[in-house]
C-alpha cells in the first residue's frame, strides 16, 4: 500500500501535475494540502476517472485539504472532531482508507515568532493531539501526514542558524512534534534516511531549489504498526522541477510504501 502527501500550492494551478503524478506513482492514497479551492470547485470527476474516490475540505482562496483513495474512503471528517467551534481555516481532513485512519494536515505557518499566528499554530497542534486522543488509539493503523510547517531537527534545515529567529524550528514547535511522537506517531521518513540533506520544500525565491536551500517540513507520521510495515519512504524531489509554463509547487510529494 502506497500512501503519499503533497502540498500542491493551488490544485487549480497543479491539476495536470497531480494527474500525471497519480498515473506515474500509482499511490493508493494521496493527501493534498493547499488546494485553495471551494468544495464546489474540487475536481472530483477528474480523480474519479483515474480510479480515485476523494474527500475535500476547502474554503476557497486559502488552505484546503483533500484525501484521494483507490482503496475506499470511509468516515470522512472535515476539521477537528472535538465538537468545539470549528477551526477558522480548512486545514484538516480525516478519512479511513483501506483500513488506515488518515489525516491530511495543513498546519498553520506561524508567520513570525512574535506573531499571533504563531500562537494559533501551537494551539492548532495541541488541538490535533487532543483530536487523536478523542478518536484513535495508538495501537491502530494511523497516518497523520501533510505540511507541518515544522522541521523536526536541525538536519532537516539547510541553515539552522538562519532559522533561529524564524518559525519552523523553534522549541515549542518541535515540542509539538515530540508530543505526537510520545503519543505514538513516528516521523517514519527518518527511520529510512540518515542523510542530512533531504528536503520537501524550497522557497520559490532566489533559486533556492538549485542552491539546495530547503527544509523537510512535509511529514508522514505513522503509528507503530505502520512504522514496522513501512519498507520505503521517499521524497520525489524531481516534482519540484519544471519550466515556467508548467510550474512546480514549492513542495515535493512524500510517500511511503507499506509491505501489504
Is 160 near DNA (CB under 7 A)? no
Which range of residues in 54-62, 69-77, 171-179, 185-193 is near DNA by CB under 7 A? Answer: 54-62
Among the listed residues 2, 19, 25, 38, the single contact to DNA using CB under 7 A: 38
Whole-number Å distance between alpha carbons of 103 and 131: 11
Residue of 204, 234, 232, 231 lying closest to 216 (CA atoms): 234
Residues of span 179-238 touching DNA by CB under 7 A = 203-206
Is 13 near DNA (CB under 7 A)? yes
Site string for DNA, 137-156 (x = CB under 7 A): ------------x-------
Whole-number Å distance between alpha carbons of 139 and 260: 17
Please count the residues of this chain forming the interface with DNA, following the rule CB under 7 A. 21
Is 113 near DNA (CB under 7 A)? no
Quote the Cα angle for 9-13-19, to 5°.
95
Is 9 near DNA (CB under 7 A)? yes
Which range of residues in 7-15, 66-74, 124-132, 170-178 is near DNA by CB under 7 A? Answer: 7-15
* Owner of C-alpha cell 486559502: 62
Which range of residues in 57-65, 67-75, 150-158, 189-197 is near DNA by CB under 7 A? Answer: 57-65
| Residue (123 or 192) nearer to DNA, CB | 123
CB 67, min distance to DNA, A: 20
Name residue 256's beta-bridge partners: 3, 233
Q: In what order do the strands lie in the sheet with 142-147?
A: 74-78, 92-97, 100-106, 142-147, 218-223, 185-187
Residue of 49, 53, 76, 229 lying closest to 141 (CA atoms): 229
| Residue (12 or 84) nearer to DNA, CB | 12
Is 10 near DNA (CB under 7 A)? yes
250 SS3 class: coil
Which range of residues in 6-14, 48-56, 125-133, 137-145 is near DNA by CB under 7 A? Answer: 6-14
CB 90, min distance to DNA, A: 12
Is 116 near DNA (CB under 7 A)? no
Among the listed residues 25, 44, 109, 191, the single contact to DNA using CB under 7 A: 109
DSSP code string of 104-166: EEE-----STTSHHHHHHHHHHHHHHHHHHHH--TTS-EEEEEE-S--SSGGGBS-TTGGGGS
Residue of 100, 14, 90, 81 lying closest to 56 (CA atoms): 90
Is 12 near DNA (CB under 7 A)? yes
198 SS3 class: coil
Residues within the interface to DNA (CB under 7 A): 9-10, 12-13, 36, 38, 60-62, 108-109, 111, 117, 149, 165, 203-206, 244, 247
Amino acid at each position: 500500500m502506497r500512501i503519499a502527501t503533497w502540498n500542491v500550492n493551488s490544485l487549480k494551478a497543479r491539476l495536470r501535475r497531480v494527474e500525471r503524478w497519480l498515473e506515474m506513482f500509482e499511490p493508493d492514497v494521496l493527501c493534498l494540502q493547499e488546494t485553495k479551492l471551494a468544495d464546489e470547485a474540487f475536481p472530483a470527476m477528474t480523480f474519479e476517472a483515474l480510479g480515485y474516490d476523494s474527500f475535500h475540505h476547502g474554503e476557497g482562496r486559502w488552505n484546503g485539504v483533500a484525501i484521494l483513495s483507490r482503496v475506499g474512503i470511509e468516515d470522512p471528517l472535515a476539521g477537528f472532531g472535538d465538537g468545539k467551534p470549528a477551526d477558522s481555516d480548512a486545514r484538516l481532513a480525516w478519512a479511513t482508507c483501506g483500513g488506515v485512519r488518515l489525516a491530511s494536515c495543513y498546519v498553520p505557518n506561524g508567520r513570525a515568532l512574535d506573531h499571533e499566528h504563531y500562537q494559533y499554530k501551537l494551539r492548532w497542534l495541541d488541538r490535533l493531539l487532543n483530536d487523536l486522543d478523542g478518536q484513535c488509539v495508538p495501537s491502530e493503523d494511523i497516518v497523520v501526514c501533510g505540511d507541518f510547517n515544522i522541521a523536526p531537527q536541525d538536519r532537516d534545515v539547510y541553515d539552522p542558524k538562519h532559522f533561529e529567529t524564524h518559525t519552523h524550528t523553534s522549541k515549542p514547535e518541535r515540542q509539538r512534534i515530540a508530543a505526537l511522537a510520545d503519543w505514538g506517531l513516528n516521523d517514519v521518513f527518518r527511520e529510512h534516511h540518515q542523510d542530512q540533506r533531504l528536503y520537501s520544500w524550497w522557497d520559490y525565491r532566489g533559486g533556492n531549489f538549485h542552491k539546495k536551500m530547503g527544509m523537510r517540513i512535509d511529514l508522514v507520521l505513522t503509528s507503530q504498526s505502520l512504522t514496522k510495515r513501512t519498507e520505503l519512504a521517499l521524497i520525489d524531489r524531481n516534482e519540484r522541477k519544471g519550466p515556467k509554463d508548467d510550474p512546480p509547487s514549492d513542495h515535493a510529494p512524500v510517500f511511503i510504501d507499506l509491505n501489504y
